[in-house]
Amino acid sequence: MPRTIAPWEIKRQLLVKAEDKTNPRYGHKPEERPAEEYIRYGVINLDKPAGPTSHEVAAWVKRILKLQNVGHGGTLEA
């Protein structure tokens, strides 16, 4: 089998259909969200240590950051 293109190897172009401006009164650029909101809409690229389960690690992050709801994207237990 020839090597297939992985999803992260796909190159995409942006096609502009119409021009318009965005009003600065509404919303924020993701990196300019106020701190509270930045955390609530945030993701951590965590280096999972060996030993605890993904679930346990997420629970620790929840406790460290004193949050209500912390999840993880895909269990890392093979």
Partner 1 sequence: MTGVLPVTLEESRKIVQALLYSGKEYVCLMKLHGNLTEQRVKEVLSEFEDTIYQRPPLRASVKRQLRTRRIYYIDFLEMNGRNVLFKVGCEGGTYIRKLCFDIGEVLGCGAHMQELRRTRAGPFVENGDIVTLHDVAYWFMEWQKQKDEKILRKFIQPMEKALALIPKIYIRDSAVDAVCHGASLTAPGVLSLETGINKDSIIAIFTLKGEAIALAKATASTEEIFKMEHGVVAKTERVLMMRGIYPKCWRSGEI
The distance of closest approach from Cβ of residue 3 to partner 1 in the complex, given in angstroms and rounded to an integer, is 5
Residue pair 58/72 in contact by the 8 Å Cβ criterion: yes
Residues 25-54 that bind partner 1 (CB under 8 A): 26-31, 33, 35, 38-50, 54
Amino acid identity of residue 28, one-letter, is H
Site string for partner 1, 58-77 (x = CB under 8 A): x-xx--xx-xxxxxxxxxxx
Q: Report CA torsion sign: 48, 49, 54, 55.
A: negative
Binding site for partner 1 (CB under 8 A): 1, 3-8, 10, 12-23, 26-31, 33, 35, 38-50, 54, 57-58, 60-61, 64-65, 67-78
